[in-house]
Amino acid sequence: MSNKILIIDDEEHMCWALEKGLRQEGYQVLTATRSKEGLEVIRNEVPSLVILDLKMPEMDGLEVLTAAKDLYPKLPVIMITAHGTIDTAIEAMKHGATDYITKPFDLDELKMVVKQALMVSHLQSEVTFLRLELNKKYGQIVGNSQAIQDVCALIEKVADSSATVLITGESGTGKEVTALSIHQSGSRRDKPFVPINCAALPESLLESELFGHEKGAFTGAVARKLGRFELANEGTLFLDEVTEMPLSMQVKLLRVLQERTFERVGGTGSIKVDVRVIAATNRDPVDCIKRGTFREDLYYRLNVLPIHLPPLRERVEDIPLLVLHFLNKFNPNREPQITPGAMGLLCAYEWPGNIRELQNVIERAVILSQGNEIKEHHLSKEIQKSDDPKKEASSKGLILNFPDEGISFEEVEKELLLKALEKSNGNQTKASNLLGITRSALLYRAQKYKIKL
């Protein structure tokens, strides 16, 4: 079905020329020479896009634009005027215009602007639909451990707030799933959830991805591009690996978080957005601040509502539930089947890659077992070795004599903390690395056992 385009312009010859040119491109075109007539067509026909003249009798273009956006907030509207100034362009954008073109203009240029606006509109609709479908299927946190219950309680508390959230935890602990759960649980659930990995892009591209760019802003910028902040308007922007962001970009991000306005690369007009920001990192932000790679003021701006995700080795009781969850995901047409021996190996393994590693292991096992019962030999050699804890411990130089009368786990844990701090000469980062825990986990346990650092 062709896209339906409505032209609202009080000059009949302009309507005729635009209608003829756009019909040649295969569009279905409607025209209106009066403002109220145009609004009536919008209300009844629900066009895919509107081309709207700014200067008209009865109601001017900005009034029509505002009324149209009240009817259909996501309707793309391109403004046309012979009175093109920066002020009117900014005013049109503030009222929700998609783009702006001045008379006299080249018809091919208008066709390009229309094509791009329709493409962006369709992509946004598809992304919104796919996000909702994916959220329904994969956006849930799995687990019954106390640690996960605490995380879920925090999500419930922060979901409806617009304050920024900083999620910390090792790689693979489910930071994006947690961000998605926050988004789904709040009032923005029907709006976009837009993620970006700050470590995956160089600085020059990261700025354009976040804030967008104007046509001609740099070599290769052949058309205007909306940034992630604009695409996430009224929804949630997820900044993954935020501590990897270059310092110069951290300054710009801090300004946007404080003022909620920004300019596209190569642009001059300020754009205001309503975005809930959730950031995440697998590093210790405080340690990054000490090393000079992360701004302290940005940390405090992001860390309004902190959530720490525990590694999988600290929530072993959740492993069976996660295994069944991934079995259902990768083999949905059969009842989950796994031998007790295989499940025991999975529970004994330390999971340095956390939940992401577990997911990959289950996917591989489902393929190797050809959809049948998963057995020990379907698991990797590393996991199969995890059934010999004494051998594993002795290979690391750690042998514990377990007395017949039992032993206090807390005393052992406290002694390990003290030994690690002694071996690292009090260096908290080195001590946490020796113990295989995060620095924040070390600080928590030190406070728990009243160990002075």
Please, is 169 exposed, middle or buried when counting C-beta atoms within 10 Å of its C-beta (0-12, 13-18, 19+)?
buried
What is the pairing mode between strands 271-272 and 261-262? antiparallel
Low-confidence ranges of the chain (pLDDT < 70): 1-2, 83-86, 126-140, 386-409, 440
Cα–Cα distance, 55 to 365 (Å, whole number): 66
Q: How far is it, in rounded angstroms, from Cα 49 to Cα 100?
A: 13
- Reading the block at residue 387, the tokens are 């059934």
Cα separation, 121 vs 278, in Å, equals 25
Q: Which residues pair with 292 in a beta bridge?
A: none
At 424 the pLDDT is 84
Q: Please, what is the angle between helix 107-138 and helix 175-185, to 10°? A: 100
The C-alpha angle with vertex 228 and arms to 212 and 308, in degrees rounded to 5, equals 140
Q: How far is CA 370 from CA 356, 374, 420, in A?
A: 21, 9, 45
φ, ψ of residue 83 to 5 degrees: the values are -110, 55
Token readout for 236 is: 């949630």
CA–CA separation, 229 and 210 (whole Å): 6
Question: Which tokens in the block code for residue 38?
Answer: 């145009």
Domains of the chain, earliest start first? 4-124 (3.40.50.2300), 139-308 (3.40.50.300), 314-395 (1.10.8.60), 409-448 (1.10.10)
pLDDT of residue 426: 85
- The span from the CA of 32 to the CA of 37, in Å, is 6
Asked whether 378 and 370 are in contact (CB, 8 A), the reply is no
Sign of CA pseudo-dihedral 32, 35, 37, 43: positive
Q: What is the pLDDT of residue 411?
A: 75
Run of H or E including 126: helix 107-138
User: Are 114 and 281 within 8 A, CB to CB?
Assistant: no
Place of tokens 């995956």: 200
Amino acid at 80: I
